[in-house]
Amino acid sequence: MSATDTVSSLQSTLLARFSYLTPRSGSADHPAVNVPAENLVSFATALRDELGFDMLTDIAGADWDQESPRFAAVYHFVRTAKCEYLRVVCAAPDDVAPSIPSLVALYPSANWFEREAHDMFGIDFAGHPDLRRILMWDSYPWHPLRKEFPLAGKETDIPSDDQIEGARTKVRPAPLAGGPFVATPGKTMHDGEPHGKDQSWNETQPKPTR
Amino acid sequence: MSEIKEISLGDIAARAHELAEETPGEKMLLNMGPSHPATHGVLRLRLELDGDIVTKCDPVIGYLHRGDEKIAENMTYNQFVPYTDRLDYLAPLANNVAYAIAVEKLAKLEVPPRCQAIRVLCCELARISSHLLGLGVYGMDTGAWTIFMYTFTEREKLYSLFEELTGARFTTSYTRIGGVARDLPEGWLAKVEKFCDELPRTIDEVDKLLTRNKLFLDRTKDIAPVSKELAIAYAFTGANLRASGVPVDLRKDKPYSGYENYEFDIPVGTVGDCYDRYLVRMEELRQSIRIVKQAIAKMPDGPWYAEDAKKIFPPRKDGVLTKMEELIQNFMLTTEGPQIPPGEVYFEAENPKGALGFFIHSKGGGVPYRLHIRGGSFVSLGILPAIIPGNYMTDITAILGSLDFVMGECDR
């Protein structure tokens, strides 16, 4: 039996056993299924307790932009005994206030992954014990990995005057103003030097509000 | 005139309770980091201490967040290779390889045997470099300064080898989708072999200095043991998982890049304490040397890039300068990026700090629609709130050192 046969057999076993699953197309490697949000917890419980998928190795948030449902979480479960992977994709039913049940109670590793997806996409993992931002700071207002968020970033409030005074530090915009550096050939040597992608704003010119 | 407020006895009682909650016992809040020599970068721990014992630990991460995933969505596949250097910046070659294999899996592209062997060689040298640093600073964290000097001397030699291979000591950016940037330099393999012959002497020296050292044993033995179940529940990978007694190694269990052709053993710990994590890394160093020697001995000849991948790997320079088709192909690849078919892939490579995973969703074309990075260090730190409470404040440095994480990969 070849590797691809095992992959498809696991997928068909799952599809036959759990009627709410749908096959996920386009997987280049592991078996992949879609699960509705309301069945996610019961499916994950069955995966852990009955099918031996004891490790949740990764959760990736995703934003499908114009599609609906717009937000999803991509889970990768591993059966450590055989080193088998399973991709489970759970779409958030609501596009405006996306919410997916949390798996922290089943897999403790989901804790930080879900916090990250919440931070980057604004997905609310219902039932998460401590859903705070993890990579950005707590008062950050945006969700940077959403597709409408510009690569160059958005202006956020800098600390208030009394905070700056208390910290005895100088506050000015980050030196990478203008987004990631690009180098394009120009007429003069100065034009060819690495510069910000969006030159309409920099340390001296304020950033246009979007 | 300020208003006089009537306070009932009940209110006072309630307030007394409130005050007692604000100052419970003699508990003290302490910030460790984000700039602290023992936190290996910019990790910040918010600790609650009862005397010398930690009762609560809340790691605060993100100080090194650069938005790598967002950047990846805005550039072609090959342009992202230099960003992978900066994930686990102590083993950039291993990151390059992991990323290249992930994209190649999506494109269903096989690279020739020589390329695979070069990549294995790179991965293992990166592992040696990373573990040497990991052990050196671990020794330093537990008060054994000398180790750092020994391991750094060896690491320096390794960096000279990297420089000769890739042109850079630190940020190697060696792989391309469908191959590597250039072939091995002449006489380089002999130098690597010489290095591998000399390295065991240093490892033995470190072994003698640490493994039976009473002070080191006191600092690490039975400190923060992670059981098998806990390690799997928190999705530990790599040496940390194996130290807890779970014999999972992606190089053996899900071989990539031809790892199935090499003979090596997987060291496994028993109790998963700080000492086990040290022992596993020491043995992995020796096993890596074994793999490197095998890779050198049977380094195949042939091309070091996929020749039949016109839409992915650029043609040779001599062809570009003389033939029209190659010129067009080179131009298209440079401007549009390698053409990867639509689909999804998740690939984990056995990196020195744990599994480094890439989830890529492609809608076709030269730019990934979504690229998610699963950093081994991110996961290793997630367990801190569970294992640090109950330990002494001084043990935190040993625990952090034993987990061997790097913030570049954690914060991405």
Segments making up each domain of chain B, as ranges? 68-411
- Per-residue pLDDT for A160 more than 90? no
φ, ψ of residue B21 in degrees (nearest 5): -70, -30
Contact between B346 and A55 using a beta-carbon 8 Å cutoff: no
pLDDT at residue A190 in the model: 65
CB contact at 8 A, A62 and A72 = yes
Cα distance between residue B347 and residue B70, in whole Å:
19
What confidence score (pLDDT) does residue B11 get? 62
Chain B residues within 8 A of A26 when measuring between CB atoms: 342-344
Contact (CB<8Å) A60/B412: no
Instruction: Return the pLDDT at B190.
Output: 92
Inter-chain CB proximity B67 and A56 less than 8 Å: no
The end-to-end CA distance of chain B, in Å, is 57
pLDDT reported for residue B119: 92
- The closest of B36, B29, B87 to B58, measured between CA atoms, is B29
The nearest CA of chain A is from the CA of B289 a distance in Å of 25
Confidence of residue A2 (pLDDT cuts 50, 70, 90): very low
Which among A27, A55, A58 has CB closest to B343?
Answer: A27
Omega cis (within 30) before B34: yes
Mean pLDDT over A34-62 rounds to: 90
Which pair of tokens denotes residue B62?
Answer: 């993100």
| CA pair distance B350, B329, nearest whole angstrom | 34
Q: Is the overall model pTM greater than 0.90, yes or no? A: no
Domain B68-411 = CATH 1.10.645.10: yes
pLDDT the model gives residue A51: 87
How confident is the model over A77-104, as pLDDT tens digits? 998 888 889 999 999 888 888 999 999 9
Decide if B130 contacts B122 (C-beta within 8 A): no
The pLDDT value given to residue A59: 93
Q: Cβ separation of A137 and B62 shorter than 8 Å? A: yes
Write out the two tokens for B340.
Answer: 């990867």
Q: Is A152 on the interface with B (CB under 8 A)?
A: no
Disruptive mutation site among B346, B347, B374 for chain A (greatest number of A CBs within 10 Å): B346
Q: Write the ipTM.
A: 0.83
Q: What is the pLDDT of residues A51-83, one digit of tens each?
A: 889 999 999 999 988 888 889 999 999 988 888
Residues of A in contact with B343 (CB under 8 A): 26-28
Topology of domain A3-126 in CATH is Beta Polymerase; domain 2 (3.30.460)
Domain boundaries, chain A: 3-126, 153-210
- What is the least distance, in Å, from the CA of B40 to any CA of chain A? 17
Report how far residue B137's alpha carbon sits from residue B151's, in angstroms, rounded to the nearest whole number: 9
Tens of pLDDT, residues B36-87:
777 777 888 888 888 888 888 999 898 889 889 988 888 888 889 999 999 8
A149 to chain B, minimum CA–CA distance in Å? 9
Which residues fall within 8 angstroms of residue B293, CB to CB, at 6 or more apart? B193, B196
Question: Touching check for A145 and chain B: CB below 8 Å?
Answer: yes
Asked whether B388 and B224 are in contact (CB, 8 A), the reply is: yes
Give the residue from chain A lying closest to B74, CA to CA: A151
Structure tokens at B334: 């440079």
Average pLDDT value over all residues in chain A: 80
Contacts of A62 in chain B (CB under 8 A): 361, 370
Cα–Cα–Cα angle for B350, B351, B355, rounded to 5 degrees:
60
Question: Token pair of B68, please?
Answer: 């790598």
- A144 versus B12: which is more confidently predicted? A144
- The three-class DSSP label of residue A189 is helix
Tracing tokens 């020796």 back to the chain, one arrives at B286
Q: Is the pLDDT of residue A165 over 50?
A: yes
> Which residues on A lie below 8 Å from B254 (Cβ)?
83
**Which residue from B minimizes the CA distance to A111?**
B382
Tell me, yes or no, if A26 comes closer than 8 A to chain B by beta carbon. yes
Name which of A27, A62, A134 is nearest B62 (Cβ-Cβ).
A134
Task: Determine contact, residues B42/B63, Cβ cutoff 8 Å.
Answer: yes
Q: What is the pLDDT of residue A169?
A: 66
Q: Residue B4: what pLDDT?
A: 66
Shortest distance between the Cα of B93 and any Cα of chain A, in A, equals 23
Q: Give pLDDT, residue A157.
A: 67
Q: Residue-wise pLDDT tens for chain B (412 aa)?
A: 556 666 565 565 556 556 555 555 678 888 887 877 777 778 888 888 888 888 889 998 988 898 899 888 888 888 899 999 998 888 899 999 999 999 999 988 888 999 999 999 999 999 999 999 989 988 888 888 888 889 989 999 999 999 999 988 888 889 989 888 888 998 899 999 999 999 999 999 999 888 888 888 888 888 888 999 999 999 999 899 999 989 999 998 888 888 989 999 999 999 888 899 999 999 999 999 999 999 999 888 888 888 887 778 888 888 788 888 888 888 888 888 888 899 999 999 999 998 999 999 998 888 899 999 999 899 999 999 999 888 888 888 889 988 888 888 988 8
**What confidence category does residue A16 fall into, taking pLDDT thresholds of 50, 70 and 90?**
confident
Task: Please tell me which of the candidates A60, A80, A111 has its beta carbon nearest to residue B372.
Answer: A60
pLDDT at A17: 85
- What is the per-residue pLDDT across B228-277, written as a single tens digit (0 to 9) for each? 999 999 999 989 999 998 999 999 888 888 898 999 999 999 988 889 99
